[in-house]
Structure 1
C-alpha cells in the first residue's frame, strides 16, 4: 500500500503541507514509526513520541506546528480520529482471500451468485440462497437455504448465516458470528417457578419440577444496510415475526441478541451485551460493554448505558443510564458517593453513641 501524502489528504478531505509528494507505505504510532510510515500524532500528547521515531510525515491536529515537530510533511484534519476511518481503509491489506470460487466450496445449483462474488475454501451455500454483487465470503462459512446476502458483503472465516435470513448491503461479519440461530424459547405444561417468581417477587409457593418444551423459531432475521457484527456474536431468529436490525448498527464481539428483538438505526452494541427477547431499541442507542437488557422492554432513541448496566425497566429517550438496576447516571453517581460515605457515617454514629453513653454515665 503506497500513497503520497497528497493522495492521502485528498482522499480524506484533509490538508497536505510540506513535501506532499512524499510516499507513505504504512501507518504507525509516533515512537515506533519508520521513515516510510505516516505517524498518527493526532493529539499534542501523541506528538511527544515523534522524537523517538523516524517518521517524516504525520497526521496531526488542526493548529499544530508541523515544522516545529521536525516533519517533512503533514496532513491536517479538523477531526483526525474521523480521518482515521478513511486512512485505515486505504491502508488495510485485508485477509488475503483469493478472488473467485474455491474448488472445495459446495454451492447448491439453485443458489444465485451475482457478479464478482468470491467464495472461500470449504464454504457451503444452500439452495436458493442469493448472494449480491462483489460479496466476499471467507473460508468455512455457511449460508442457509433461501438466505439473502446483499451487495458488498464481507464475511470473515467461519461465519454462519441461517435459512431465510435477509441481510442488506455492505454487511460485515467477523469470525464466528452467527445470524439466524433459534431463539431461546421454552415453556412448561403449567405455570413455572420462573413465571411465579416474576409475579410474586420471590415467593415460589408450591412449585414442582417440570420439563421444558421447545418453542420452535418460525421467524427469521432481517438486517439493514451497513451493519457490522463482531466475532462470536449471535442474532437469534424470531419466534413468529422476524428479529429486526436497522441500518448502520455496529456490534462488538460476543454480543447476544435474542428472538423478536427490534433495534433501530445507527446503534452501537458493545462487547458482551445481552438483549433478551422481544425488547425494542430505538435509534442511535449506545449499549456499553456487558450491558444486560431484560425482555419485553423499550429503550428510546439516543439512550446511552455505561458498562455493566442492567436494564430492568423501560428507558425514555435521551437518558444516560448506569448501574444495577439501571438508573440515571447522575442519580447513580450520587448514590455511589453516598455509599462511599457510609463507613465514615458509621464511625461518626459510633462515636456519637459512645459520647452519649459517657454523658449518661456521668449524670
Structure 2
C-alpha cells in the first residue's frame, strides 16, 4: 500500500499544508472512522466535529479552519475542499486490480487496430475494424463492435457494450454494464395510429376506426451511430441509442449518471450533467451546461436551451429557453411550481373555511 506525505499531497493539489507535514497517509476516511494512517475528510464543519471520534492525525479542512483546536498534528486546507477532493481521490484510487496487456482469454480480431499501451481484460471481444487509442483500458467481458473507434486513455469498466461504428473521444470513462449504440426505439404503422391522433387531439376526441382496430408496428432500422466527445463519463447500465440516419451525439465533458436513457438522434451539448434515471426521447436537443435532475423526462423533438436546470422528477413537455430553472409535471419555472405547491397544501384548510362560510350564509338566510 503506497503512502503519501502530507506535504506532497498538498503540493499535488495546489493546497496548503500545515503542522507535521511529513506525516504519511495511505488512504482516506470519514472523520469518525479514520485511523492514524488515514486522512480524515472533514470538508464541512459538521464533519470536522467528528474528528475526535476517530484516530486521525491529519485531515482535509476548509481554508481558515483551526486545525490545532481539532487536536490534529497536521492538516491540508483548500478554499474549495470538495474540488480538491477530485484530485485527491484520483491520487488515492487503488484501481480495479486488472493486469496489463491483452488477457489470453480475450478475443481481438487481427483486423482491429490497437495503439500503444492498450489493455484488454479477460473475455473481452474486439471485432474487425475497431480502433483503440493509446493507453485505453478495455475491462473484462467488454464488447467493442465492428469499426468502433475508442480514443486515447479511455477506461471501460466490466461488461460495457460499444456497438458497431460508435465513436468515443479521448479520456472517456464508461461504468459497468453501459450500452452504447443500441438501435433506436423507432416504429411506424401503415396508417395513422393512436400516437398520431393523440398528438393532434390531446385526447379530446374518440379514436378513429383504424386506431380502434389496431395495427402492426414496422421497425425503422438505425443507420446512424453514436458520437461521444472527449472527457465524457457514462454511468452504469446507461443506454445511448444510435441515430436513425445521423449520429446521436454527446458533447465533450458531459457526465451521464446510472440508468439514464438517451434516445435516437438526441444531441447533448458540452459539460452537461445528466443525473440518474433521466430519459431523453428521440431527436431532442439539449444545450450546453444543462443539468437534468434525477428522473427528469424530456419528451421527443424538444429543445432545451443552454444553462437550464431541472429539479428531480421534472417532466418536460415543451421546449425550454436558455437559463430557466424548472420543476414539476408539467415542467414550469421552479418558483411558480413551489408557489403552486404551497397553494395546494392550503386547499384543505381553504375548503373547510368555504364550507363554514357557506353554512353561515345558509343559517342567516331570512327565507329559512
TM tier relative to shorter chain: over 0.9
Counterpart CA distance in 2 for 1:110 and 1:139 is: 21
Whether 1:205 and 2:208 are equivalent positions in the alignment is yes
Tell me how far 1:87 sits from its aligned partner.
Answer: 0.5
Counterpart CA distance in 1 for 2:169 and 2:141 is: 21
Whether 1:161 and 2:162 are equivalent positions in the alignment is yes
Counterpart CA distance in 2 for 1:132 and 1:231 is: 22
Whether 1:12 and 2:17 are equivalent positions in the alignment is no
Deviations 1:326-363 (A, max 9, x none): 00000100110111111111000000010001101586
Helix, strand or coil at the partner of 2:359: helix
Q: Matches of residues 1-363 of structure 1 in structure 2 within 5 Å? A: 1-202=2-203, 203=205, 204-206=207-209, 207=211, 208-360=213-365
Counterpart CA distance in 1 for 2:11 and 2:309 is: 35
Helix, strand or coil at the partner of 2:364: helix
Tell me how far 1:2 sits from its aligned partner.
Answer: 1.2
- Structure 2, unmatched stretches of 5+, are none
Counterpart CA distance in 1 for 2:224 and 2:93 is: 37
- The runs of at least 4 consecutive aligned structure 1 residues that moved more than 3 Å come to none
Helix, strand or coil at the partner of 2:249: strand
Counterpart CA distance in 2 for 1:282 and 1:155 is: 26
Counterpart CA distance in 2 for 1:134 and 1:44 is: 40
Deviations 1:307-327 (A, max 9, x none): 000000000000000000000
- Computed over aligned residues only, the root mean square deviation of the Cα atoms, in angstroms, reads 0.8
Tell me how far 1:44 sits from its aligned partner.
Answer: 1.4
TM-score, normalized by length of structure 1?
Answer: 0.99
Counterpart CA distance in 1 for 2:195 and 2:39 is: 58
Tell me how far 1:69 sits from its aligned partner.
Answer: 0.6
Counterpart CA distance in 2 for 1:42 and 1:324 is: 36
Deviations 1:135-165 (A, max 9, x none): 0000000000100000001000000000000
Tell me how far 1:42 sits from its aligned partner.
Answer: 1.0
Counterpart CA distance in 2 for 1:248 and 1:61 is: 27
Tell me how far 1:97 sits from its aligned partner.
Answer: 1.0
Counterpart CA distance in 1 for 2:178 and 2:257 is: 11
Deviations 1:65-124 (A, max 9, x none): 111110000000000000010010000101111101000111111000000000000100
TM-score, normalized by length of structure 2?
Answer: 0.98
Moved more, 196-205 or 23-32: 196-205
Tell me how far 1:205 sits from its aligned partner.
Answer: 2.8
Counterpart CA distance in 2 for 1:163 and 1:233 is: 17
Q: How many residues are matched?
A: 363
Counterpart CA distance in 1 for 2:208 and 2:330 is: 26
